[in-house]
Chains A and B, each alone.
Chain A
Amino acid sequence: MILTKAQYDEIAQCLVSVPPTRQSLRKLKQRFPSQSQATLLSIFSQEYQKHIKRTHAKHHTSEAIESYYQRYLNGVGKNGAAPVLLELANEVDYAPSLMARIILERFLQEHEETPPSKSVINSMLRDPSQIPDGVLANQVYQCVVNDCCYGPLVDCIKHAIGHEHEVLLRDLLLEKNLSFLDEDQLRAKGYDKTPDFILQVPVAVEGHIIHWIESKASFGDECSHHAYLHDQFWSYWNSFLTCRMGTIIVPTSWS
């Protein structure tokens, strides 16, 4: 299955300033019924991350933080059960999880003597019941579960996908009887930066010689395989793309 660059661009086009929520994803699915939800989610996530990287800074000025916090306080003052924080995030076009982090940090600054450490914040985002304020806990929780591009749950999903594909790849290599060294073995040999697998005997796939294989758990960004890609994305997890000396596997499927 091949996803062309044109198709990719079309999908990406629909994702301009769309909040990363369940509803957006549903609409996307209706618009592109031929693509799997996982593929769409993967592209969504990729595009949205680019967007956030571009706009990240403006949400972190002290003026912006202060105004968000005031708006949050006003909102929950009127109705604590309403999705104040989530709507605020959608309104200012920022990821809900990241907005929750901003507000939580600001809240803790106000209520604790010492500025909160990163690990404390992370732990509270993972488990909002640790947040001392019940209303805020609910608001944060709502943001985290509704965000499909950021947050601890999404991170976990991405990590899980990475792991799964490594396992799949290993099985495939074993099945094909290709002798390889995996990352742990390579590390034991003293390499610091290693691909997932190094083939002990290189193989040729579609005219390209492959020395190593790196499985990417998401859409590889274009710069990492531009030279060999032309206008195609290989869109199945066992499609090998040669990149310099080795190969990066780019799955589109998250499942």
Chain B
Amino acid sequence: MAAVLESLLREEVSVAAAVRWIARSAQSSEDDPGEAAALSPLRPLRKEFVPFLLNFLREQSSRVLPQGPPTPAKAPGSSAALPGRPGGPPRGSRGARSQLFPPTQLPSPAAEVPSARRGGRRRGPGPARERGGRGPAGLEEGAGGEGLPWAASRRPRGSGSPGSPSLARSDPPNLSNLEEFPPVGSVPLGPAGTKPSRRINPTPVSEERSLSKPKTCFTSPPINCVPSSQPSVLDTSPWGHGLPPGCRSLQEEREMLRKERSKQLQQSPTPACPTPESGSPLPSRIGNLTAEPADPAGVSSHRRLELVALIYSSCLAENLVPNLFLELFFILQLLTARRMVAVKDSDLEPSPGALDSLESPLFQSVHDCVFFAVQVLEHQFQVLSCLDKGTLKLLAENERLLCFSPALQGRLQAAYESSVAKVSLAMPPSAQAVSFQPETDNRANFSSDRAFHTFKKQRDVFYEVLREWEDHHEQPGWDFEKGLGSRIRAMMGQLSAACSHSHFVRLFQKQLLQMCQSPGGAGGPVLGEAPDVLSMLGADKLGRLRRLQERLVAPQSSGGPCPPPTFPGCQGFFRDFILSASSFQFNQHLMDSLSLKIRELNGLALPQPEPSDEDGESDVDWQGERRQFAVVLLSLRLLAKFLGFVAFLPYRGPEPPPTRELQDSILALRSQVPPALDVLALLQQGLRARRAVLTVPWLVEFLSLADHIVPMLDYYRSVFTLLLHLHRSLVLSKEGEGEMCFLNKLLLLAVLGWLFQIPTVPEDLFFLEEGQLEAFEVDTVASEHGLDGMPVVDQHLLYTCCPYIGELRKLLASWVSGSSARSGGFVRKITPTTTTSLGAQPPRTTQGLQAQLAQAFFHNQPPSLRRTVEFVAERIGSNCVKHIKATLVADLVRQAESLLQEQLVMQGQEGGDPAQLLESLCSQLCPHGAQALTQGREFCQKKSPGAVRALLPEETPAAVLSSAEHIAVGLATEKACAWLSANITALIRREVKAAVSRLLRAQGPEPAARGERRGCSRACEHHAPLPSHLISEIKDVLSLAAGPRDPEEGVSPEHLEQLLGQLGQMLQCRQFLCPPAEQHLAKCSVELASLLVADQIPVLGPPAQHQLDRGQARRLLHMLLSLWKDNFQVPVPLQLLLSPRNVGLLADTRPREWDLLLFLLRELVEKGLMGQTEIEACLGSLREAQWPGDFSEELATLFNLFLAEPHVPEPQLRACELVQPNRGTVLAQS
């Protein structure tokens, strides 16, 4: 594997070829033969490359990142890749960052010892190193666990590298390896006699943890960072309940103090600092930790880092790594690396020629790390831009990023500014008030009065238990099993009949859904206040309030980038209830019920709104659809999690079976047990119907609770293979028809990535042979309208489903707070302000009570009442937004238009910069948007009661009716105001912008022509011939004139006259006229005139008289002149009359007659259709053309005649006639 990386670094193999090589099994024709040759001997190792790369990077960064939460490198051993090395590392240590790195690539032991030591202390300054750093590790161990805690407690490693001292010493601290760092007070796992370390671990963990692997499953912080309120799965060990958290922390603090004191005594003046936990460094802890500045100039080897970054990014892009977000987390760790554990410069000096190889460390300084991280981030911009606004802000404000890539910083800044994805990291609110379900109270559902009575009693017990749990579970020292276990079991004992079980399970499931769903999905009432008060706050203050709440409430870390499955909040109650009840019947009924509900929800036809309707007002409706999807998805995840929990409960054990034989026998046994729910079929269906975005997230929840054997069973193996295939296919950069929406993909990648890091999922599963992958091709031919293609996932849902993505933000935030001393501080202080402006606000408790009252009200009423009220609120809220848009916003747009008109008049045609104009208009008008809230409130107040009244039964009691009306008004107002306060400014801006550009466009070309365009009178009945007909007729005349024609073909003068008459009518009516038709008609009429002047129109009649007589021609020309003057509204191309081609027509006639042309020209001037000088210019240019000699002369005469006597038509005519032989007729006609 190293060979592959080396050939990449030496640029023998291009990155693209390498990625193709990794991703595909077949040789591609695109590959350069040389490259193929370089890679082909390594073919069997292909699947080892990605794990190797990941481990390589982790190893290389180990000197930089000892303090942060180590990023897990969950990758199988590369034993196959390096045959010379005996075996892979033991399974137990697979999480360690450096486990797989060959010892040959490490610096010499002499250099390594101080490095390891400093890596541990992190901030140990010079003197400390001078004093003890050089000593061998063994000496440090003698120091009683003070100097090198990890060394002190380290057990000899398994089969991995016990004999390699350099590896042993160079191993970075695996801080979350519980084997190495047992929590305080626990019995060390190491050899007897090792002193307990001063490892501080806030969360109880015991060896009996049955689900997450206790020792090394995650090297990420999950296990010890899980807040005590949400213990890990099945945390029923004595640690979980025995020791009260308060006592524990007190103990820890004492321990810490003691150690600190002794250390200070020992090491002063070295500033002491406790070894941090492996969780995200908390700001308070690292506040005094200054980071080493990173400088682009200090980067050691640009090319090498670029290449590695490129191949790494390509692997990310192709989904070749198990968990995208884990890698991002790792990259951000590199970006925020505080300082490098220095190795003496001489040791770092790369030997000549070794620069390209892997001999020298990849990251020689913080500069290198940051450079590498920024390189990768540049490739990952698309994903970054989809993160929440807070993360984007932190990234955009990161000064290292700005320093290393101003371009990327600019893009991030732009993404931050345009992002609307404000995501609160606050945990979903916990237990709601206990709700009573009147539906289940129905006697008709029970076989006998007795059964009904028993059920009611049990329900009471259940709620009693629940209430007690609500009251006590946060108290220290309270234990679920001790407090409630016996009561629960007693209650279960009463549920004898099968039907009572099913009733109870239904209640249980309903309660579960009601309590554990984050209420309202997106944009729900976070604070639980009455909606009007929140909307009174205005968008800005509301946002601040929410942020403030978030900062106060959000847990600092929810367990690293890869937490194990947990049951947070009230889910814990249900889990503990199931465990305490330990009733087989109950579990079976629960599984049945959960499976049914999952199938039902999974198959639910979710509404599919018109995606093309991008209008602002439909945002409101679309949000509703999205929220519904979110509710269904979250319900499914919850149900599936509990189904997985119950279904795999009997098989759960702490460890996979130790021996192969045992495992085989278990497999044989288990493989005949039918699955609790046919998830394979459901997954296949989901993929086919393009609903993976709904199916996969809950399936992942289900599988996350599987036991160790499950992934080895053929059935589930198929499921995993299918999921792997899906994971690989979700290439984020692919866009287009039939592709999944970006955020949908991101959600699936996040949940799948998380699943692949679950301890029970074997790590080699991800790096399967491709052959196995391809055998599982799924035909996703089905419907084009699957959910996958619709933007159903938003950032809020993404972060709700995958709270661990928020770790990225926390990591960045901790960097900011750590470096604030130097950079001036991005962390803004929360300034408390008085609430005087909200004088009307009732005390908080009243509001909470109000909400509870509303809930209670609904519980006592038929469910249809609640549905009605919610429906009315939903619709009225949506209508309100539409109404505001049609009234207030439309008014503002009209104001904008008139303001703009004024401005244009003032500044003249040129106006100013349109963008500037727009800005000034918006700044004038947007403040008026504030009225929207008042108007919206009025609208809801006015409309909601009537709708509620119309929809509820006539017989509804007055009190109930008025309460329902009030609640509907409140909900509608909340909905409308929430949307308006967030969007009104943007909406006004958008509408004004559209109006301004419309107006400016209209101002643009030919304003006059547009202005005077007139239609026919009201009395017109539009009987004029159609324009198409006239064009067609005139075209016929033109084609007759142009020939060739049969001898009998021709037009009658009457027909021509009629045609021109119709043209006049049509031009007056204009009902059916469009500008292109008019333009063509104008041009055709000019051509017709030219033909008349040249006497080229074949006239029907006796063969001798195939010409129009003068009088007719003149009459027709008069008609044309008046059409041009009075009827045409488009410019008529009159200059064509004097084009060489049309004048040339005259050259063919014998004898030539010029009087009509002269007549026409004079009339044109007379009627003001053409200017004298314009005609003169045309005539002038005519003379330049090549003509027969006599024609030129006549043209010159005409020119002179036209020039000689302008403006006096009658005498001119006579003068003209002097030239012509048949002047008598002309005179007679005129």
Q: Mark A135-176, 1 if CB is under 8 A from B, else 0.
A: 001100110011000001100111111011001100000000
Q: State which residues 48-103 of A face B: CB under 8 Å.
A: 81, 83, 86
Asked if A190 lies at the interface with its beta carbon under 8 angstroms from chain B, I say: yes
Could you say which of A22, A81, A160 contacts B1026, with CB atoms under 8 Å apart? Answer: A160
**B1140 touching A134 by the CB < 8 A rule?**
yes
Q: Mark A187-217, 1 if CB is under 8 A from B, else 0.
A: 0011110000000000000000000000000
Considering only CB atoms and an 8 Å cut-off, how many residues of chain A contact the other chain? Answer: 36
**A191 touching B612 by the CB < 8 A rule?**
yes
Given A138-B1141, A254-B1028, the answer on whether A159 and B1043 have CB atoms closer than 8 Å is: no
**B614 touching A167 by the CB < 8 A rule?**
no
B1038, closest chain A residue (CB): A145
Asked if A246 lies at the interface with its beta carbon under 8 angstroms from chain B, I say: no
B1080, closest chain A residue (CB): A156
Docked CA distance A103–B366 (Å): 71
B1071, closest chain A residue (CB): A167
Docked CA distance A191–B611 (Å): 10
A153, closest chain B residue (CB): B1035
In the complex, which residues of chain B have a beta carbon less than 8 angstroms from the beta carbon of A189? Answer: 613, 615
Asked if A23 lies at the interface with its beta carbon under 8 angstroms from chain B, I say: yes
A146, closest chain B residue (CB): B1039
Given A134-B1144, A159-B1076, A189-B613, the answer on whether A146 and B1042 have CB atoms closer than 8 Å is: yes
**A255 touching B1028 by the CB < 8 A rule?**
yes
How far, in Å, is B1139 (CB) from chain A's closest CB? 4
Quick one: which of B614, B615, B1032, B1080 has the most chain A CB within 10 A?
B1032
Could you say which of A129, A163, A192 contacts B1074, with CB atoms under 8 Å apart? Answer: A163
Docked CA distance A163–B886 (Å): 31
**A254 touching B1074 by the CB < 8 A rule?**
no
Docked CA distance A59–B645 (Å): 74
In the complex, which residues of chain A have a beta carbon less than 8 angstroms from the beta carbon of B615? Answer: 189-190
**B1076 touching A156 by the CB < 8 A rule?**
yes
Docked CA distance A141–B1036 (Å): 13
**B1032 touching A157 by the CB < 8 A rule?**
yes
How far, in Å, is B1129 (CB) from chain A's closest CB? 16
Asked if B1018 lies at the interface with its beta carbon under 8 angstroms from chain A, I say: no
Asked if B829 lies at the interface with its beta carbon under 8 angstroms from chain A, I say: no
In the complex, which residues of chain B have a beta carbon less than 8 angstroms from the beta carbon of A254? Answer: 1028-1029, 1032
Given A128-B1141, A142-B1043, A156-B1080, the answer on whether A164 and B1038 have CB atoms closer than 8 Å is: no
Docked CA distance A188–B105 (Å): 65
Asked if A127 lies at the interface with its beta carbon under 8 angstroms from chain B, I say: yes
Docked CA distance A23–B1036 (Å): 11
**A161 touching B1028 by the CB < 8 A rule?**
yes
**B1141 touching A145 by the CB < 8 A rule?**
no
Asked if B1106 lies at the interface with its beta carbon under 8 angstroms from chain A, I say: no
**B1136 touching A127 by the CB < 8 A rule?**
yes
Given A141-B1042, A153-B1031, the answer on whether A163 and B1141 have CB atoms closer than 8 Å is: no
Given A138-B1141, A145-B1038, A146-B1042, the answer on whether A159 and B612 have CB atoms closer than 8 Å is: no
Docked CA distance A191–B613 (Å): 7
B1027, closest chain A residue (CB): A160
Docked CA distance A52–B341 (Å): 78
In the complex, which residues of chain A have a beta carbon less than 8 angstroms from the beta carbon of B614? Answer: 190
**A129 touching B1142 by the CB < 8 A rule?**
yes
**A83 touching B1072 by the CB < 8 A rule?**
no
How far, in Å, is A175 (CB) from chain B's closest CB? 12
Asked if B247 lies at the interface with its beta carbon under 8 angstroms from chain A, I say: no
Asked if B1044 lies at the interface with its beta carbon under 8 angstroms from chain A, I say: yes
**B1043 touching A83 by the CB < 8 A rule?**
yes
Could you say which of B1035, B1074, B1083 contacts A159, with CB atoms under 8 Å apart? Answer: B1074
Docked CA distance A190–B617 (Å): 12
Docked CA distance A134–B1083 (Å): 19
Docked CA distance A219–B1153 (Å): 47
In the complex, which residues of chain A have a beta carbon less than 8 angstroms from the beta carbon of B439? Answer: none
Q: State which residues 1005-1046 of B face A: CB under 8 Å.
A: 1025-1029, 1031-1032, 1035-1036, 1038-1040, 1042-1044, 1046
**A129 touching B1039 by the CB < 8 A rule?**
no
How far, in Å, is B494 (CB) from chain A's closest CB? 59
Docked CA distance A127–B1142 (Å): 11
Q: State which residues 1133-1158 of B face A: CB under 8 Å.
A: 1133, 1136, 1139-1142, 1144, 1148
Asked if B1077 lies at the interface with its beta carbon under 8 angstroms from chain A, I say: yes
In the complex, which residues of chain A have a beta carbon less than 8 angstroms from the beta carbon of B1080? Answer: 152-153, 156
How far, in Å, is B1138 (CB) from chain A's closest CB? 10
How far, in Å, is A46 (CB) from chain B's closest CB? 16
**B1142 touching A159 by the CB < 8 A rule?**
no
In the complex, which residues of chain A have a beta carbon less than 8 angstroms from the beta carbon of B612? Answer: 190-192
Given A129-B1142, A138-B1141, A160-B1031, the answer on whether A22 and B1074 have CB atoms closer than 8 Å is: no
Docked CA distance A142–B1148 (Å): 16
**B1044 touching A164 by the CB < 8 A rule?**
no
In the complex, which residues of chain A have a beta carbon less than 8 angstroms from the beta carbon of B1035? Answer: 145, 153, 157
Docked CA distance A133–B680 (Å): 76
Q: State which residues 1-51 of A face B: CB under 8 Å.
A: 22-23, 38, 41
In the complex, which residues of chain B have a beta carbon less than 8 angstroms from the beta carbon of A145? Answer: 1035, 1038-1039, 1042
In the complex, which residues of chain B have a beta carbon less than 8 angstroms from the beta carbon of A137? Answer: 1141
Docked CA distance A152–B1031 (Å): 11
Could you say which of A128, A142, A157 contacts B1031, with CB atoms under 8 Å apart? Answer: A157
Given A83-B1044, A134-B1144, A167-B1071, the answer on whether A160 and B1036 have CB atoms closer than 8 Å is: no
Docked CA distance A192–B613 (Å): 10
Q: State which residues 964-1020 of B face A: CB under 8 Å.
A: none
In the complex, which residues of chain A have a beta carbon less than 8 angstroms from the beta carbon of B1044? Answer: 83, 86
In the complex, which residues of chain A have a beta carbon less than 8 angstroms from the beta carbon of B1031? Answer: 153, 156-157, 160
Docked CA distance A239–B554 (Å): 67
In the complex, which residues of chain A have a beta carbon less than 8 angstroms from the beta carbon of B1043? Answer: 83, 142
**B1136 touching A129 by the CB < 8 A rule?**
yes
In the complex, which residues of chain B have a beta carbon less than 8 angstroms from the beta carbon of A146? Answer: 1039, 1042
**B1136 touching A190 by the CB < 8 A rule?**
no
Docked CA distance A152–B1042 (Å): 16
How far, in Å, is A62 (CB) from chain B's closest CB? 30
Could you say which of A22, A81, A156 contacts B1036, with CB atoms under 8 Å apart? Answer: A22
B1148, closest chain A residue (CB): A81
**B1076 touching A23 by the CB < 8 A rule?**
no
In the complex, which residues of chain A have a beta carbon less than 8 angstroms from the beta carbon of B613? Answer: 189-191
In the complex, which residues of chain A have a beta carbon less than 8 angstroms from the beta carbon of B1077? Answer: 156, 159-160, 163
Q: State which residues 504-551 of B face A: CB under 8 Å.
A: none
Docked CA distance A98–B1072 (Å): 29
A37, closest chain B residue (CB): B1032
Q: Mark B1101-1143, 1 if CB is under 8 A from A, else 0.
A: 0000000000000000000000000000000010010011110
B1046, closest chain A residue (CB): A23
Docked CA distance A156–B1079 (Å): 10
In the complex, which residues of chain B have a beta carbon less than 8 angstroms from the beta carbon of A41? Answer: 1032
**B1029 touching A255 by the CB < 8 A rule?**
yes
**B1028 touching A164 by the CB < 8 A rule?**
yes
Given A163-B1074, A190-B612, A191-B612, the answer on whether A134 and B1141 have CB atoms closer than 8 Å is: yes
Docked CA distance A254–B1036 (Å): 15
How far, in Å, is B1195 (CB) from chain A's closest CB? 15
Could you say which of A86, A127, A160, A192 contacts B1076, with CB atoms under 8 Å apart? Answer: A160
19 contacts between A and B (CB under 8 A): A22-B1040, A38-B1029, A81-B1148, A83-B1044, A127-B1083, A127-B1133, A129-B1136, A153-B1084, A156-B1080, A159-B1077, A160-B1031, A161-B1028, A163-B1074, A164-B1027, A168-B1072, A189-B615, A190-B615, A191-B612, A255-B1028
Not counting A41-B1032, A160-B1076, A168-B1072, a sample of 17 additional A-B residue pairs whose C-beta atoms are within 8 angstroms of each other reads: A23-B1046, A38-B1029, A126-B1083, A127-B1136, A129-B1136, A134-B1144, A138-B1042, A142-B1042, A146-B1042, A157-B1028, A157-B1031, A160-B1028, A161-B1026, A163-B1077, A164-B1026, A164-B1028, A255-B1029
Q: Report which A residues bind B (CB closer than 8 A).
A: 22-23, 38, 41, 81, 83, 86, 126-129, 134, 137-138, 141-142, 145-146, 152-153, 156-161, 163-164, 167-168, 189-192, 254-255
